[in-house]
Amino acid sequence: MREFFIAFRSRSDAMRFYEEAATYRLPARIINTPSSAGTGCGLSVKMLVKNLGQARVVLERMRLNSVIGFFYLTESGAARRM
């Protein structure tokens, strides 16, 4: 199962996106942003890659300005930008 995460500058926006994703029945988890992402500390939302397109649609509708980017974790545990 391949996963990705969306990093946010705003903790409250991360929580808002997580809650909005739930209304679309998109499985997601709140995680601490991995330090290997190089984005500072904060919260991210982790999801399945198969839901990437739907996640982008939800983000576009919400018009959140605090999105840093989309990342996936390599097998070594390093975060890479998608």
Q: Provide mean pLDDT across the span 50-74.
A: 93
Supply the pLDDT for residue 13: 95
Supply the pLDDT for residue 1: 59
**The pLDDT of residue 78 is above 80:** no
Q: What is the signed CA dihedral for 68, 72, 74, 76, rounded to 10 degrees?
A: 50
Burial of 16 (0-12, 13-18, 19+ CB in 10 A): middle
What are the tens digits of pLDDT across the range 18-54? Answer: 999 999 999 999 999 988 888 777 899 999 999 999 9
- pTM of the complete model: 0.88
Residue that the structure tokens 């500058």 belong to: 9
Are 43 and 8 in contact by the 8 Å Cβ rule? The answer is yes
